[in-house]
Chains A and B, each alone.
Chain A
Amino acid sequence: MLCLLMSIFHKFIQAINDAAFIWRQELKQVLRDEGVLMFCILVPLAYPLLYSWVYNNETVHEVPVVVVDMSHSHQSRQFVRMCDASPDVQVVSYATDLDEAKSLVSRQVAKGIYYIPEDFATKLNRMEQSTISVYCDMALMLTYKAIYQTAMTVSTKMGAAMQVALAGNYTDREDVITVSPLEVEEVSMFNPQAGYGTSVLPAVLMLIIQQTLALGIGLAAGTSRERNPYGDLVPVHPAYSGIYRIVGGKALCYLMVYAVMGAYLVMAVPKMFSFLQIASWQSLLALMTPYLLACIFFGMTVSCLVRYRENVILLMVFISLPLLFLTGVSWPQSSIPGVWQGVAWLFPSTFGVRAYLRLNSMGASVGDVALELRCLWIQVAAYFGMACLVYGHQLRESRRHANLPA
């Protein structure tokens, strides 16, 4: 009995030793291969900074607008002044007619046109409804929103002043009630300034983790294949004798590197650019552990599918943008067609990004993202199984080539 226990124990120790050996080998390889080094170290370090820099300004202010004022009245000038004074719009030019204004938009001098017709003031003074036309260049949604919403806000404000003047109330309170009998409070939660960076960046950060991991693992696998005389993934070496040792050893190597990288991405980068960061480190840990593991096993599974090291670049780079869309950041999750929702479940990034956004930007608790975490753990198990399967296949292949008994 003791003998049996001892032998199991020895086997176990041997397995751990082998895994550690593979861990070291893999790490050596990662550090030697500049391609892997670039994707596993350099890109995760530099890209987040670059993206943060791009989106650092969050929103657009002072969108250039050209005004065509045919009314030349006190009221029209007031409208233009108020728009110009708003944070989002800047009146850059006055045009004599619409055609001139259009040519300014064409030359990218302005992004929109405010057209105030001749009868603007006349109609207002006659107590009729008058119109201001807003023409927006729809090539950019953010500038369109800025131009349109500013015009809306200013017109409502001017309208309110006119209502007060007309109503003939006695007290201030009556004026307030005339203008807005129902007080409406607008509360923009979690991303109050509607910043583009706050919305997109967390998703980009999480996606960078998955993509660079898959690229790095794929490149490393490609290299070892090319080094091998038979084009095999698994070298012939006594340590590389069990599937779990290989998969475990390699995974440990990447987990080690990415524990640091992941912490840098989700803790340091948002701090540097003072992006929103609500989640506590405990809940981030609860998310990042399954996410990193799922990504690593996902990367290992993918890495077995490619023969040349460069092909993995072609594959992974291409799916980056579609994956970003599938997470539901740019396009609401509830509007993604069912087929693509299903496809999205295949990738760890989908759940990783969703959970991270809600933990970090919306202050959800771990319990609120339980579904995503559970899915991630299922992916860990599924991709671990698949990685073992494909590595088992590779192991048999290399043994066949080496004429060893399988």
Chain B
Amino acid sequence: MKILKENPIYGFCMVVFPLLAMFFFTSLLADGLPQDLPVGVVDLDNTSTTRALIRKLDGFQNSKVAAHYPSVAEARHAMQENEIYGFVYFPKGTTSNLMSARRPKISYYYSNVSLAGGSMVMKDLKTVTTLGSAAVGMATLRAKGATDKQIQAFLQPIRIDLHQVANPWSNYNVYLSTVFVPGIMMLFMFLISAYSLGMELKFNRGKEWIEKADGNIVVAILGKYLPHVVVFLLLISFYQFYIYHVLQFPHVGSWAMILLLSVLGVFGSIGFGIFAFGLMPSLRMSMSICSLWGVLSFSLAGSAFPAMGMDAALQAVTWLFPLRHYYMLFQITVFNGYPLIDAWFHLVALIAFTLLPWFVIGKVKNAMLTYVYIP
């Protein structure tokens, strides 16, 4: 069965492309959080107070003051030209009105067209404007003779102590690469599983293949996919090793869980690929189905836009995607390190995907023995 490895496409799809995807995502998101996003300033006041705030904004990790604009219209235009993600506007007289308690109004504008960029910029702009407001209160209270502790308690009576469990830096690399890279690998598992069966049919090697296994389709399938399983397991293990050991992604769950997850992911995906071919024993149709299914997985896994936000019917549909179960199992047992029993449903679902070919095995055999490839 290992003769099949001659076709270079296998080498590409089972090793080169997945590795490429792995390095693509981990290097693209290497910063973890978008840093030094360009932000603009419209400072019509131009006093030491506003300049101090602008310096503060520039000092934040996520934002960088890229340009000053003479008017709001020009700053907006710069946003449309993709130069900045947001800007802060100080109208003329801000400082003098602030000093004389006339409550001036400053504004900040940001664009959420790029969600990650927009929310980062928004956070910094919000913080810096809040600081500006607090500075006044602080100065007043200090003049009245309040202690630092009293000032803090007055300005912010309730403090929110945020615990970002398992990803304290809200690192996007940890958040996205852990799901999308396995997703791409699973996509290849789908496709290659269907492809390898289809190629048997296309080049009329099906009969020969079944005969080698003495007419036993179970043996034939197992024999055919053994090398696939080994290669993909090595691949996904290397990936897990790379992100958790080399890149030091946080994982609360144990290595045993990570391995279990990898094994289930590989088996479930290959099972799905064979099933897709069994449903439609034609190379073209089964591969189309697999690719469409695989691409949809990324959305319906619910890792970026949560499944709970989708319509109820779609929430049920997500169960049909192995990546959804992979993601749930990953986040419950590996990412958060909760007990496996809380993810039992997804565990069972992945096992079920592994066993799916059972239903179509007869059809595959029939196809191999009797079908003729129609281009």
Contact = CB atoms under 8 A, between A and B. Distances in A.
Interface of A: 34-35, 38-39, 43, 47, 50-51, 53-57, 59-61, 63, 79, 102-103, 105-108, 124, 127-145, 148, 151-152, 155, 158-159, 162-163, 166, 176-178, 180-192, 194-200, 219, 223, 226-227, 308-311, 313-314, 317-318, 320-322, 325, 328-337, 339-340, 354, 357-358, 361-365, 368
Nearest 8 CB-CB pairings of A with B: A332-B117, A106-B338, A364-B80, A139-B331, A191-B112, A138-B167, A185-B107, A155-B158
B306 A140 contact: yes
A106 B343 CA distance: 9
A132 B305 contact: no
B114 A199 contact: yes
B103 A176 contact: yes
Interface stretch (B211-219, B221-229, B232-240, B294-302): B294-302
Contacts of B12: 314
B103 A186 contact: no
Contacts of B288: 35, 38-39, 313
B30 interface: yes
B107 A184 contact: yes
Nearest to A316: B291
Interface in B175-215: 175-176, 180, 183-184, 187-188, 191, 195, 198
Contacts of B362: none
A217 B136 CA distance: 65
B375 A227 contact: yes
B239 to A, nearest CB: 15
B46 interface: no
A181 B134 CA distance: 8
Contacts of B366: none
B157 A190 contact: no
B305 A54 contact: yes
B306 A60 contact: yes
Interface in B120-168: 120, 122, 126, 129-130, 132-133, 136-137, 149-150, 152-167
B342 A107 contact: yes
23 contacts: A54-B299, A57-B311, A127-B154, A133-B163, A136-B162, A138-B175, A140-B303, A181-B98, A181-B136, A182-B133, A188-B122, A196-B115, A310-B287, A318-B17, A318-B188, A325-B28, A331-B172, A332-B114, A333-B114, A334-B38, A335-B35, A340-B28, A364-B81
A158 B157 CA distance: 8
Contact of A132 (B113, B161, B292): B161
A145 B116 contact: no
B235 to A, nearest CB: 14
B292 A43 contact: yes
Contacts of A63: 308
Given A106-B338, A190-B112, 16 more contacts: A39-B288, A53-B314, A54-B300, A108-B342, A151-B160, A163-B154, A181-B137, A182-B129, A182-B133, A185-B108, A189-B76, A313-B291, A329-B114, A332-B34, A332-B37, A365-B80
A188 B110 contact: yes
B112 A313 contact: no
B82 A333 contact: yes
B21 interface: yes
Contacts of B137: 178, 181
A141 B175 contact: yes
B305 A181 contact: no
B152 A129 contact: yes
A313 B35 CA distance: 36
A314 B191 contact: yes
Given A354-B82, A364-B81, A152 B113 contact: no
A236 B154 CA distance: 86
B104 A183 contact: yes
A55 B105 CA distance: 36
Nearest to B345: A108
Contacts of B105: 182-185
B195 A310 contact: yes
A136 B81 contact: no
Given A39-B288, A321-B184, A199 B115 contact: yes
B27 A340 contact: yes
A351 to B, nearest CB: 11
A50 B296 contact: yes
B39 to A, nearest CB: 11
B283 interface: yes
Contacts of B291: 313, 317
